[in-house]
Amino acid sequence: MSIQTLHDLAELSQASYADLSLGQLDSEAQKNKLADDADILTAQSDNLASRYSVALATYNEPNSSFSATVFKNSASGELTLAIRGSGGADWITTNPDIYSHGD
């Protein structure tokens, strides 16, 4: 796996923290979500938008804080499933087995 591929996957992983809607990433609304939810800078979001679109809008499971987004590479058509990590103040109460036993 190339360093560029690892970079792209890490970038999509970070973008998955934003609550994105279906379609292009170059709209102001999508860029604001990337900035506010995922801490992605404008230059990064412009670069990301030139290479990817959202193929399946962000799915959020509120009880577990699971979130996933499917991105589509504009050049190749390749789909990437990006899953964000668990988060939020209630992580321990929603994941007691992982917290107490690590499994």
CA nearest 20: which of 69, 61, 63, 80? 69
Domains of the chain: total: 1
State how far the alpha carbon of 24 is from the alpha carbons of 27, 30, 55, 59, 82, in Å.
Answer: 7, 8, 9, 17, 16
What is the residue type of 83? I
* pTM of the complete model: 0.78
Domain containing residue 56:
3-101
Q: How many CB atoms lie within 10 A of CB 38?
A: 20
Residue whose pair of structure tokens reads 């499994």 in the numeric block: 103
Residue whose pair of structure tokens reads 């030139």 in the numeric block: 50
The predicted pLDDT at position 100 comes to 66
The predicted pLDDT at position 76 comes to 95
pLDDT tens for the chain, 103 residues long, are: 899 999 999 999 989 888 888 888 888 888 889 999 888 988 889 999 999 999 998 887 777 677 889 999 999 999 999 988 766 556 666 666 666 665 5
